[in-house]
Amino acid sequence: MTEKSSNAMWGGRFAAGPDAIMEAINASIGFDRRLAAQDIQGSRAHAAMLAATGIVDSRDVEAIREGLLKILSEIEAGTFAFSTALEDIHMNVEARLTDLIGPAAGRLHTARSRNDQVATDFKLWVRDQIDAAIAGLQALTGALLTQAEAGADWVMPGFTHLQTAQPVTWGHHMMAYVEMFGRDTGRFRDARARMNECPLGAAALAGTSFPIDRHMTAAALGFDRPSANSLDAVSDRDFALEFLAAASITAVHLSRLAEELVIWSSAQFRFVALSDRFSTGSSIMPQKKNPDAAELLRAKIGRILGAMVALFTVMKGLPLAYSKDMQEDKEQVFDAADTLILSLAAMTGMVADMTANRDALARAAGSGFSTATDLADWLVRAANLPFREAHHATGALVKLAEGRGVDLPDLTLADMQAVHPAITEDVFSVLGVDNSVRSRTSYGGTAPDQVRAQVARWRKVQG
C-alpha cells in the first residue's frame, strides 16, 4: 500500500501522513493548557530554589521569574499562541520563555524533568479543585441548614421502599442530607491531607545529583513536605483517583436529592415548588413546569463515575515509573471537576430557592397508617405487651381501619378494645402525626428539639 493510499484511509484529517497522526495522538496541549497557572507557579518556585542553592545564577533566575509572569499575563489575556508542535503546556511555556529572555530560559529545567513537573502541576490543580469542592459543599450545607431550621417541626411522611413508613419532620429530612454532604466534605479534606506532598525534585524517576532543596519548593507551593520516594512521586496518581472517588460519592448524594426533588415537585406530590430559575416549560404543554436542573443533576453521576472508572483503567497495569499512558489522566479529571463544581452550585441554588408546601407535607404525613408503629410502641410501653404481640394487634387494627376506609385515629376506643382489651383512651395521645414526631426524642431522632440541636451543632461546625 502506498503512503498516498494509506493517507486516504484516514481522510483529510491527517493529510500530512504518519507525522501528523503522531503529533495528534502525542500532543496534550489541547487540554493540559488548563495547567498553565500551576505550571508557572511550580516553575517560579523551582527557579527561586535554584537561585537559593546557588545552582543557577540569581540574575538568570530573576529574568526567568519575570518572564514567567509575562507569560502568565499573556495566557490570562488570551494572547498566548499555543502550539501543538510543542506537545504540552511545559514546552509551550519554555519556548515562549526563550523568546522573551534568551538562553537563560534553558537553565530553568535544571534538576527537574517533565515527569516531576507534570505530577506537581496536576497535584496543584487537583488540590485547587478539592478546595473548590469543599467550598461548594459548605454552601450547599448552609442552604440545607436554613431549610431544616425553618421546618424543624413541619411533619411529613418518612418513606421506606417509597411507601409511607412513619412521620418525620421536614427539618429531619433536610438534615439527613447535611450528614451525607458532611461526610463528602470529610472525604475531600482527607484526600487533600494525604495528597499534600510535593513531587518536584524527583526529576525523571531517580532524583537528581544537583544539591536542590526540596523542602524549600514544597513549602513555597503550600505542600506539607516533599514526597519521600522519587519513583513513587512521578508514577503516583492516587490523588486524582481519590478526588474522583470522593466526587463520585458526592455525585451519588446529589443525584439522590435531585431524584427526591423531581418526585416532590410533581403534581402527584406537590411537596415542594422549585423556583423558575431552575425549571423550564414545555414547548407544547403550557401547564408544565419541568424540574430540568434536578433531572440533569441526577444524570451527572454518569460523567463523574465514568471518569473514575476510566482513570482506574489507565493506571491499573502500569509498571513504575512514568508511562505515556498517564497523559490520559487529565481530561477525565478536568471534566469531572467541572461537572462536580457546577452540580454543587446548581443544587445549592435549587435548595435555597425551593419552597416546601407545609400543608401538603402534613396531609401526606398522616396517610398510609403512618402512626401504626407508634400504636405498637404504646402497647409495649403502656400495656406491657411483648412487641410481637403488639405488632400483631396493630396489624389487625390497620386491617380494620383499611376495611372501613378510615385512618387509625378515626377508630373508636370500642373498635380498638375489640381487637385488644388492654387498649385505653390514652392511646389517642400517640396516634397524631405531631405527637408521633415529638415522641422520637432519641439522639438523632426526628423530634423537633433534636432537629434544632443538630442544626445548632452543624452551624457551629460550619463556623
How far does CA 52 lie from the centroid of its chain?
A: 40
Q: Is the CB of residue 244 less than 8 Å from the CB of residue 88?
A: no
The rounded distance, in Å, linking the Cα atoms of 27 and 30 is 7
Residues, the chain: 463
Q: Cell 492516587, residue?
A: 238
Contacts of 304 (CB under 8 A, 6+ apart): 244, 247, 248, 251, 336, 339, 340
**The C-alpha cell that represents 260 in the structure block:** 427526591
Whether the ω angle into residue 321 lies within 30 degrees of 0, i.e. cis, is yes
Residue 101 and residue 93: Cα distance in Å, rounded?
12
Residue of 249, 192, 251, 256 lying closest to 224 (CA atoms): 192
> What's the rounded Cα separation, in Å, for the pair 302 and 205?
35
Q: Are 160 and 92 in contact (CB under 8 A)?
A: no
Using an 8 Å Cβ cutoff, are 354 and 276 in contact? no
Cβ(97)–Cβ(39) below 8 Å: no
Active-site residues: which are they? 161, 282
Q: Residue 228, exposed/middle/buried by CB under 10 A (0-12, 13-18, 19+)?
A: exposed
State how far the Cα of 62 lies from the Cα of 56, in Å rounded to an integer. 10
**β-pair type (225-226, 272-273):** unpaired
Calpha distance 339→345 (Å, rounded): 10
